[in-house]
């Protein structure tokens, strides 16, 4: 089986050195890629800017912006059996990037933000027989937002987690399947969660044949 995994943050620059981003470490996505490889799957890891080393033996596509991640995922997805979207893609980007560093001034500056493309939702529309797993990072109305994302992104399952998991070696998560069933919350090492997600993908792919 060939699996696409996205991981890490994106950076959306408004001048040559400053950008909008988020604190995603990429740990979860890299561990999912690692576990998939250990279970003898081919893995394409589309990886945003992170400080950790990606696992050995997987095809790593390094990207910076949401647009670059979009382009990489579209190029890989048609050859995959499944995709797992763990990346924390910025929801907005500056409308323009200055070609020089903006100098500090004693007055307000205003930046217009435009929405970025929703990679999981876009690929969910064209996935056909392929399996897609999304992630929902929520800090309020957790279940409602995860359920909305599952439908909007046309995912086969979505993993609900919270800001407390960022950068940690452990994770407290719940998994919602497309039939509306929740696993119930559980805490486990991120490696353990990664193994559980890969086994879920294997089952879903097998059932989709």
Residue 42 Cα distances to 38, 39, 61, 78, angstroms: 10, 9, 14, 14
Residue 88 Cα distances to 48, 65, 66, 183, angstroms: 9, 11, 9, 23
Instruction: Dig out the tokens for 46 from the structure.
Output: 């589309």
Buried b (16+ CB within 10 A) or exposed e, 125-160: eebeebbbbbbbbeeeebeebbbebbeebbbbbbbb
Q: 0.85 cut: is pTM over it?
A: yes
pLDDT in tens, 119-164: 999 999 999 999 999 999 888 898 999 999 999 999 999 999 988 8
pLDDT in tens, 4-41: 999 999 999 999 999 999 999 999 999 999 999 999 99
CATH classification code of 2-95+112-208: 3.40.50.10300
Q: Which residues carry out catalysis?
A: 22
CB 37 within 8 A of CB 117: no
pLDDT in tens, 89-122: 999 999 999 999 988 888 898 899 999 999 999 9
Taken in order 133, 136, 141, 142, is the CA torsion positive or negative?
Answer: positive
Q: How far apart are the C-alpha atoms of 30 and 18, rounded to whole Å? A: 26
CB 15 within 8 A of CB 55: no
CB 104 within 8 A of CB 153: no
Domain residue ranges of the chain, discontinuous segments joined by +: 2-95+112-208
């Amino acid at each position: 089986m060939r699996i696409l995994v996205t991981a890490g943050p994106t950076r959306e620059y408004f001048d040559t050195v400053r950008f909008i981003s988020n604190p995603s470490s990429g740990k979860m996505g890299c561990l999912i890629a690692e576990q998939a490889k250990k279970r003898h799957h081919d893995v394409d890891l589309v990886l945003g800017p992170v400080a950790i080393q990606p696992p050995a033996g997987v095809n790593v596509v390094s990207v910076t912006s949401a647009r670059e991640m979009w382009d990489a995922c579209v190029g890989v997805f048609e050859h995959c059996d499944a995709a797992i979207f763990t990346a924390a893609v910025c929801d907005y980007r500056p409308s323009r990037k200055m070609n020089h560093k903006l100098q500090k001034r004693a007055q307000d500056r205003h930046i217009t933000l435009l929405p970025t493309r929703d990679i999981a939702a876009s690929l969910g529309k064209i996935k056909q027989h392929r399996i897609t797993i999304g992630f929902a990072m929520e800090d309020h109305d957790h279940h409602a937002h995860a359920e909305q994302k599952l439908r909007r992104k046309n995912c086969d399952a979505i993993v609900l987690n919270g800001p407390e998991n960022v950068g940690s070696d452990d994770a407290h998560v719940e998994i919602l399947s497309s039939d509306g069933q929740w696993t119930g919350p559980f805490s486990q090492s991120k490696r353990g969660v990664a193994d559980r997600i890969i086994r879920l993908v294997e089952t879903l792919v097998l059932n989709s044949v």
